[in-house]
Chain A
Amino acid sequence: MTELEAGRAQALPSVRSGAALRRYRDLLIAVIAFAVLASLPLFTGSKALLDFIIRCSAYGLFATSLNLLVGYTGLTSFGHGMFFGLGAYSFGLIMQKLGVPIPVAFVATLAITAVIAAIIGAICVRLKEIYFAFVTLAFQMLIHSTILSWASFTGGDQGLRGGIPRPVFLGIDLANHVHLYVTSCALLILGLLAMRQIAQSPFGYTLRMIRDNAARASFLGIDVWRAKLTVFVLAALFAAMGGMVMALFVSGAYPEFAYWTISGEAIFINMLGGVSTFLGPIVGTVLLLLLNDTVTRFTEYHGIVLGVVILFFALGLRKGLLDFVAEWFAHRRDAGEGR
């Protein structure tokens, strides 16, 4: 046994137990977060607040799933919004045309998304950096123009109208505002927990290695193409989940859900919150939605205000808010230990 191997043999068990502990900690945080969110309607009757949180759930799931690609794997997708739109449209169409129970439509939508994401991903993940970004963008626009031109099926530029039927399932009535709110929160927390598990798993660390040095990962025997494709499909599934929450919230689906600006917003959310922490995109989502809501209330020129805020983050902080806070804490801790 070489010195190196001996050292690793000792270190491994403690890392393992640390990871297990962290996993229970994540679960605990998730349970507490859900309890807090779900009990909110008991304390406040504010429909606006609950609506805001439902929108945060939809965008939060979507933005965090993009972070799996951008932050963890280094795949800058400009077209991630296509899966948001796909989720919203598939779910709405299945509910309208087939009238199946909601969970069936939910699972069917995920299955459809997985198949389409696997096909698109198989083509895209071979490409590098800016080319990957552009092909994903092209696919997004292709899906967007398909939605626009297939008017007899998707409603064209009018969007999917007529409402989404919501049959009661196991006593859960999504036509009820509070039920919808609690379901959205549950989906958000479950989705985040699942993504956290992916990010902290050995597979998640494989993704980080691919991001940092794909050639080395390949030499270590990792099938880079397959790992990238897997995360591409996984991220698409969570984006579709976000799309379904959005479809339920607005009771329909609109071509804007599949337009490229929605991908732009998700990228912006990620930059706003920061891509180096898991919860960065959630913070970014809350920031962007708050910003959008307050700014549109005060001025019709919200583009200027939003633009200046983006410039502040891009040129001033040069990183997302949570990145900034995390680095500040790390800096303080280091300074404290140094003394």
Chain B
Amino acid sequence: MFEAPSFSSLNLDVALPGIFLAGWATLLLIVDLFIPKERRRLTVWLALAGIAVTFVLNLVMYNRHEEAFKGMFIADPFSGFLNIVILLTAVMGILLSVDYLRRTGIERGEFYSLILFTTVGMIFMAGANDLISIFVALELLSIPLYVLSAFRAPDLKSEESGLKYFIMGAFASAFFVFGAAMVYGATGTTNLPEIFSALGGLGQPGGPSVFLMILGAGLIIVGLGFKVAAVPFHMWTPDVYEGAPTPVTAFMSVGAKAGGFAALLRIMIVGLPILTVNEQAAAAWQTTLWLIAAATLILGNIVAISQSNVKRMLAYSSIAHAGYILMAVAAAGTPGIGDQAAQAALVYLLSYMFTNMGAFAIALSIEKDDGSGTSIDDFKGLGKSRPLMAAMMSVFMLSLTGIPLTAGFMGKWLVFQAAIQANLIPLAIIGVLTSVMSAFYYARIIINMYFGEGEGDSAEGATSYVRWTVYIAFAGTVLLGVAPMLVTTLTDRISLAVSMLP
């Protein structure tokens, strides 16, 4: 019968970073009410302080490998590394927001609490080890993001962006949760390692039903595919990214992706690696993910070419980058490649985080207070008016393309390597070809900045907070490109694949 677990058996300290930040965000919401309007900066510093403490807590427990809440949550190097990515994203997102919110006239204190709440959702997503906790974390990640997208209300674009994101997000969650229900129906458990054990008897009499498992896994892929903006579930991305306030776009293009891929990798590698049609073969979901990855790569990169708005261009570029990470997830379906693929995906996320935050920071600098000025043509002449920023933007664009000595190259290198090891050669070839294609639209911005006819934007949005974000992003992009071992020593410890195979 049901027994209430004792408090100490919950092992709460394992989930401390997330719990601390959740408490901090709640307190901040209340404290902010007592901060006078002209001293709003205090809220910013309090939010950053909360993230800093969480960051330290996370580093302290990086090497732990323990479960909390009776196995529903797990702290391991995988979640530890993702937390680093997520918290850095949050820091940069907040730094970008400070002056942007003021000059666009939407400075309200709850903004920072909402950012912290989604960050908590992402942290729990990274450590969730049970379909129930993944679902709750997914919603905690998504719901504040719906509000943040519409934060520029009554601006119609922003409201539209919020409503579209909400409808698509809720639709996706419904798919995910129905898939989770089917997996529960087949195996009788929602815990990922237990699902793994139950799958040993797949298709045998009394074992999990193959029909329910395939239906469940498929619906879970659809649900998370929406969240990470994979083709054909990407329709919402460009509109939402364009309409949302730019710092929010920057934050969610990385953060929501990190959360979605965390859940996808953990479900696929921990829960469903042996969901196979016949034994010793690659997992049954590999072909599906292979096709989704290929479609995402091709469509994202081709449509990005024809975009004239830099936010939309970066939206399609983020779809394309989701394709590269999906390549790693697909590779994880081959037995024995799981850990390598997870490491590649994480390094890719980190490199994408630095590069993309930097690119958005510069796009935000040339944006006007009314939200205009984000066309590709607005970059014309930036090389003359703001040489340093133009140079850094060029590095970000090269890194997004994947040129050696930048972070983007390291990420792509590891992902392609994982795909080749997993025997997905055609997918790797598609990846290389689409990377070459992507050079076309990234280079267009560089050409506009240096050779375009124009006065050159004065980039008044580049206040000191924004400049600092650009410097952090630049340092990360270059450092990761030149000295990748700094990061690979961290990711080397990651092992997701269940080693306690019977």
Q: Do A and B bind each other?
A: no
